[in-house]
Each structure stands twice: as C-alpha cells, then as structure tokens.
Amino acid sequence: MATPAATPEHHRQQRKAYGEVALLAVFWAFNWVGMKAILPHLSPLYFLTVRFFGAAVLVGMLVKATGAPLVPPKGERLWLAIVGILLNAGVMAPATVALQYLGAGRTTVLVYTMQLWALPLGWMLLKDRPTWRGALGGLVGFCGMILFLNPALVDWSNRTVLMGNLMVVSGAISWALGSCGYRTRKWQSPLWTQVLWQCLWSAVALAGLTWLLNAPLRIDWNLPVVGFLLFNWFVSTSIACWLWTRAITVLPVPKAGQVVSLVPVLAVTFSAVFMGERVSALAVVSIALILCGIIVTLRSR
C-alpha cells in the first residue's frame, strides 16, 4: 500500500514547495546585497532588532485580521520560540556583523553551507537518510563550498576576515539546527501564528544581545534606509519566514537547503553586477559545482 509520501497530492505539494523556495532564493539574494550596501548607514544588531520587531507587528496585524490566534498553544510556545531564534536571530546576527568585513557574495555562500550541515543533522535528528543520489549531490555541493574557501580566494592570515568567516559558518549551523528542530514535531498552531511567534522572539533575543554587548544604536533615517527596512519587514522577513516554514513542512531540510543554495549563486551575480565585486574563474568553478549538487539532489528520490 502506498505511503502518504508517495501520493500524487504529496508530489504536487512538493513541486509547489520547490517553486516557493526558489522564489525565496531571489528575495534573500537581493536582500544580502542590499544589506551590504546599507550597512554604512546603520549598526547591524540595532537594524536587525528593528527589522524583526517591525516584521512581528506586520505579521501580528495579518494574524489578527484573519482571526488566527496570536499565541500558539501552550505546549508549543517554548519550542517554537527556540526554533524561531535559531532560524532567524541565530543566522542573521553573526552573518550581518560579518558582512561589514566580507563581501556580500562570500557571506551569502558561507551562510548557505546550511545545506551541508543539514545533511548530517537531518539524518541524526529526523532520520532523513539520504539516497545515494542525494548523498552524491551533497558531496558535489560540499566540494564546491570547499573550493570556495580555498586560500587563493580567502586571506586566512587576516584575523578579521577569519573571524568573519567563522561567524557566518556559525549562523549556517544555527539555521540547519533550527530547521531540523522545527521538523521534529507536528505543529497545531496556524503557520502565520508560528511566523509571528518566531519573529517576536527573534526580536527579543536580538534586543537582549544588543543590550548585552552594548552595541551602538544608530540608523540614519534616510529614504534608502526606510525603503530597505520596509522591504525587510514585508518581504525578506515576514513572507520569507512563511515560505521557508511552509517548505520544510513538506520537504526534507537537506532538499530545501539545496534549493536555497541558489541564493549564493544569485547573490554573487547581483554583487558583481550592482556592487562591482570581482568574481574569479575559481569562484565560478565552485559555484558551478554547487549548482550541479543542487540538480543531482533534486533528481534524487
């Protein structure tokens, strides 16, 4: 007898989820390049705190308008808050701080090593055992990532650059862990309620981190900054959280991670076109390997 995962409806949902994650990849790629451009006008942690509080307000208004509960059921609140912090604050805080010292393309590529960390974590926590083709795709993608970290492309003698790279990798691990943690249970709360709860607790965590580190509270309230904040509130945070959470309810985390690996490819392209960041032949080869890994994984069953 066919399992629920083998039904035509499930395959339809998977195809839809792939499309949603691909759209998410475009949003996030643009956002990384935009953050790099806007960083001279704001302090990273303060910006992220305002970003997630603003997104929480917008999502809260939407949840209220649809009649969904503002608060998840009692048994889901703590775990959903932890998962939300790992998925949002745990990723964005180290990566945005590191973005001050690294290029937008490089930062994005390192963030999306999430798909590599998701393979062993998904296997250990969720029993999402990869097929041979999925494992091959992950291996090819991993080789592309390793090549991208080649000393010919990265100055590992520079302590600031080294710390920046390590911070971004820690964000990638947080993302993979949060995604796997989300999939360890079935949630009763509506999806937008979950997004609200995740944004709210991420904002609280970021506010606490800003206070703990005594980080500067500076945002130059000019038109580009306000426009970018609005984009973050509406698109790259609220809608993006919804799209990603929807996707990982249908797709295994490693497969969803392979699709959003398009983000660094797009971000490197956007960075080269709009910010003049240099893309060497070695970087192009590494990106090509990442794309091959994505294609092989998507063809796996």
pLDDT of residue 288: 80
226: tokens are: 């306000």
pLDDT band at 144 (very low <50, low <70, confident <90, very high): confident
CA distance 76 to 148: 39
Instruction: Return the HEC string of 201-217.
Output: HHHHHHHHHHHHCCCCC
Q: Tally the residues of the chain.
A: 301
Residue 93: pLDDT over 50:
yes
Residue 31: pLDDT over 80:
yes
CA distance 124 to 23: 29
Specify the higher pLDDT residue, 46 or 123: 46
pLDDT of residue 2: 44
Mean pLDDT of 29-53: 90
| Residue 273 domain flag | yes
pLDDT band at 84 (very low <50, low <70, confident <90, very high): very high
| Residue 6 domain flag | no
Instruction: Determine the structural domain holding residue 180 and report its residue range.
Output: 19-298
| Residue 281 domain flag | yes
Residue 20: pLDDT over 90:
no
Specify the higher pLDDT residue, 133 or 199: 199
Using CA atoms, how far residue 130 sits from 42, 182, 234, 254, 257, in Å, is 42, 19, 35, 9, 13
CA distance 118 to 125: 10
| Residue 1 domain flag | no
| % of the chain beyond a pLDDT of 90 | 25
pLDDT of residue 253: 67
pLDDT band at 193 (very low <50, low <70, confident <90, very high): very high
Specify the higher pLDDT residue, 258 or 276: 276
pLDDT of residue 159: 84
119: tokens are: 């393979």
Tally the domains of the chain: 1
The pTM score is 0.81
pLDDT of residue 300: 58
**Angle, to 10 degrees, between the axis of helix 89-98 and the axis of helix 44-66?**
150
| Residue 10 domain flag | no
Specify the higher pLDDT residue, 290 or 301: 290
Specify the higher pLDDT residue, 61 or 144: 61
- What is the average pLDDT score of the chain? 84
Residue 179: pLDDT over 50:
yes
CA distance 247 to 88: 16
pLDDT band at 301 (very low <50, low <70, confident <90, very high): very low
CA distance 259 to 154: 25
Q: What is the pLDDT of residues 219-254, one digit of tens each?
A: 888 898 899 989 988 888 878 877 877 787 787 766
Residue 192: pLDDT over 70:
yes
